[in-house]
Chain A
Amino acid sequence: MRIWKYGDNINTDMLFPGKYTYTCSTPEEIKPHLLEDLDPLFAKNVKEGDIILAGRNFGCGSSREQPVVGLKAVGIKAVIAKSFARIFYRAAINQGLLLIECPEAVDAYSEGDKIEINAEKGIIKIGDKRFSFPSLPPEILAIRDAGGLLSYTKLKLRKK
Chain B
Amino acid sequence: MGMTFAEKILAKYGGERQVTPGQIVTVSPDHLLTHDNTAAIVQKIQEELEKYGIYNKTFPVVVLDHVIPAASEKTARNHKIIRDFVKKHGIKNFFDIGIGICHQVMIEKGLALPGKLLLGSDSHTCSYGAVGAFSSGIDRTEAAALMLTGETWLKVPSSIKITLKGKLKSGVMAKDVILHIIGDISASGATYCSVEFTGNIKQFSVDDRFTIANMGVEMGAKNAYFPPDEITTSYLDQIGIARSSYTPVFPDRDASYDMELEYDLSNMVPMIACPHSVDNVRKVDEVAGIEINQCLIGTCTNGRVSDLQITARILKGKKVHPDVRLLILPASKKVYEEALRNGIIEILVKAGAVILPPGCGPCLGAHQGVLAPGERCLSTANRNFKGRMGCKEAEIYLSSPATAAVSAIYGVITDPREVIKT
Residues of A within 8 A of B (CB): 8-9, 11-14, 17-19, 21-23, 25, 37, 56-57, 60-65, 68, 83, 85-87, 90-91, 94-95, 137, 139-140, 148-150, 152-154, 156-157
Cβ contacts under 8 Å, A62 to chain B: 122-123, 364, 383
Verify B139–A25 contact, CB threshold 8 A.
Answer: no
Verify A61–B40 contact, CB threshold 8 A.
Answer: no
Verify B192–A86 contact, CB threshold 8 A.
Answer: yes
Complex formed: what's the CA distance from A86 to B66 in Å? 22
Give how many B residues have a beta carbon under 8 Å from the other chain's beta carbons: 52
Verify B75–A94 contact, CB threshold 8 A.
Answer: no
Cβ contacts under 8 Å, B341 to chain A: none
Verify A150–B187 contact, CB threshold 8 A.
Answer: no
Return the contact of B44 from the options A12, A61, A87, A150 (Cβ within 8 A): A150
Verify B387–A153 contact, CB threshold 8 A.
Answer: no
Cβ contacts under 8 Å, A91 to chain B: 139, 141-142
Known: A13-B386, A22-B78, A63-B123. A150 touches B188 (CB 8 A): no
Verify B123–A139 contact, CB threshold 8 A.
Answer: no
Complex formed: what's the CA distance from A65 to B149 in Å? 20
Complex formed: what's the CA distance from A29 to B141 in Å? 17
Return the contact of B75 from the options A8, A23, A56, A85 (Cβ within 8 A): A23
Report the nearest A residue to B370, measured CB to CB.
Answer: A19
Residues of B within 8 A of A (CB): 24, 26, 36-37, 40, 43-45, 48, 51-52, 66-67, 72, 74-75, 78, 121-123, 125, 137-142, 144-145, 148-149, 153, 187-188, 191-192, 217, 220, 222, 277, 279, 364-366, 370, 383, 385-388, 390, 392
Known: A65-B139, A86-B222, A94-B139. A153 touches B366 (CB 8 A): no
Known: A65-B141, A91-B139. A9 touches B187 (CB 8 A): yes
| Minimum CB–CB distance for B122 against chain A, Å | 5
Complex formed: what's the CA distance from A81 to B79 in Å? 37
Return the contact of B153 from the options A85, A140, A156 (Cβ within 8 A): A140
Cβ contacts under 8 Å, B386 to chain A: 13-14, 37
Complex formed: what's the CA distance from A78 to B387 in Å? 26
Verify A137–B24 contact, CB threshold 8 A.
Answer: yes
Can you list 9 A-B contacts with CB-CB less than 8 angstroms, sorted by A residue number? A62-B122, A63-B121, A65-B140, A83-B191, A87-B139, A90-B139, A91-B139, A149-B141, A153-B48
Verify B188–A56 contact, CB threshold 8 A.
Answer: yes
Verify B66–A21 contact, CB threshold 8 A.
Answer: yes
Verify B188–A157 contact, CB threshold 8 A.
Answer: no
Verify B277–A9 contact, CB threshold 8 A.
Answer: yes
Complex formed: what's the CA distance from A21 to B363 in Å? 13
Cβ contacts under 8 Å, A154 to chain B: 48
Known: A13-B387, A62-B123. A157 touches B277 (CB 8 A): no
Known: A57-B187, A57-B191, A61-B385. A153 touches B145 (CB 8 A): yes
| Minimum CB–CB distance for B35 against chain A, Å | 10
Known: A23-B75, A60-B188. A18 touches B142 (CB 8 A): no
| Minimum CB–CB distance for A1 against chain B, Å | 27
A8, A9, A154, A157, most chain B CB atoms within 10 A:
A9
Verify B366–A18 contact, CB threshold 8 A.
Answer: yes
Verify B388–A13 contact, CB threshold 8 A.
Answer: yes
Report the nearest B residue to A55, measured CB to CB.
Answer: B188
Report the nearest B residue to A17, measured CB to CB.
Answer: B387
Cβ contacts under 8 Å, A68 to chain B: 139
